[in-house]
Structure 1
């Protein structure tokens, strides 16, 4: 239930006229969010009004970031934002968006997307009443702490956004949420797709038995334990963990290579297991974990991951599925998915658009996010 249905419009007044900016590559999920908000906010005559009682057809703002042939760009907003409560949705990992530079078709990098985000904020000229950035996968989220003489990119990016007038930053399954210490006086929310993942799992695998005898939660590394502890606590399942043995004398592609994965936990023989992680990048570590679980005679290996990047393609996952190493992978639609991914037998997409619409609806009415941050009651009800 959204906040509008809970309280109605008589008791609660929006903070400002709601407007949503869909950055390049976010048009699909933004249109779904717009659909839900219009469904919730229309009157008995199916008409939606803004604060000034003007009828509106959409909450999406008309914005664009045109580029010159040199690759330079600018942000343009084609309608007023004065006094508006702005929510900007940005997928900085969408490499499916391209632009032309010196006659070459160039995919947009995270840096390009982040610069466009700042251009749109700058185009508002400080006239918006409030700006909230919804960045599902946090820009430079993996560069969150200093290991040697190196940059702290995530902290700098957060400070840049707040210095430009952004009041709230919303993200999902952040690699390390302690990075919010960089902006302690601003709103910073870390949401998780727990309920949506479990709902999709129950719908897609209806014959799964969710109890300690038949199902187990596995963390692929020590960093993901808190995430997995939530699943194991809510579902009342046992928890296991792999830890990575790395070769710290070598750096390959910016990181120390993993020598092997060692398992800590109860016997998995004959059980279904759910491996939970924040992202699938190349997928090598995840598939190695799945292979080791199958060697320990696990029945089915399911993978929950908020972000499926698949940076080295899908062939290795096809092979793992055909070899019986993985049974199914669940990822959200929070970031770009290559088109061929959706047709794979082993893949299930978890839709997050209604959840984000609920977050926007709640914030626009200055409501509490507590229930949305911790959906334990909804999960319990779903399982019953």
Structure 2
């Protein structure tokens, strides 16, 4: 069977050239005579490869030496817990005598994943959860995540929160922060506390390596599951400012919650991400993707290509909307470059659209079960030519 075009939300498409190279590595990694899924994670060949992966991330995103790059497991969902535990431990060391209710955890809620993150913070306790803004409040029905909030809607807790969390791209809901600082849909960095090392946490799981990260050096933690733009599920990439690599056991003696060692950022950093066995095969494939990315021009290259791809799909949606066939689910200016979400109008129309796409060799476009509709994921491995195939199908559909 020939390969289809995979518009799936994740695990998502990978470049075919990478898959072909990875297949060779499954049998013989770097001339060792041992397959990558069999080799010791402490072998000199694999540790050298890990160092290369870290270097590729650092160079392409311009990560400063003030930040460590860590490679771990558990996906973004595990980081919903880890960022709370590690940054509350940091806050405890900085302010040992504060009661828990005076340790604010600021959360910007713009979609399903930031809602999961704030729910986990409430479940773990140890601080006072403050919802800085919930974008549902400005939606037409009061219940939809359909836009990035206006800057004047944000209400940060004060000068010394334990953390400030946001999700840069909400892949289920199709909203994303703009990289243009003058846009009302940009993240309001100017409203953050001044004259301090801000504990800013960015969830970049569904947009990592798709374009530059604005003000990366101002972040305390950036995390990303690999399974969107980088590689297979199983690897999580962390960029952690070094003042957040704290002694969690010392914090626990002062009353902070105990942090499992495999979730403690200092443990990962002190052991070069090798405290326990890493996700060897996903890490290998991710390294091959990052090598290819560097050859193509890195995040600046992908930013241009991804914008062209998204513009084509949004244009087709708007054209179909004018004909009463499609309905965009996100407000103008807040749409994601990675996840284009829309409805197909009419009884049975959505099923017809999905089945027609599959018959034409395109899969993975059905929306998330929680919101329905259509979701087109335009991650890095989706080419402009593949996007053109989808756009042609969309136009044929609403021309019927």
- Which category describes the TM-score, using the shorter chain as reference length? 0.3 to 0.5
Q: TM-score, normalised by structure 2?
A: 0.32
Q: Which has the higher strand share?
A: 1
If the length of structure 1 is used for normalisation, what is the TM-score?
0.33
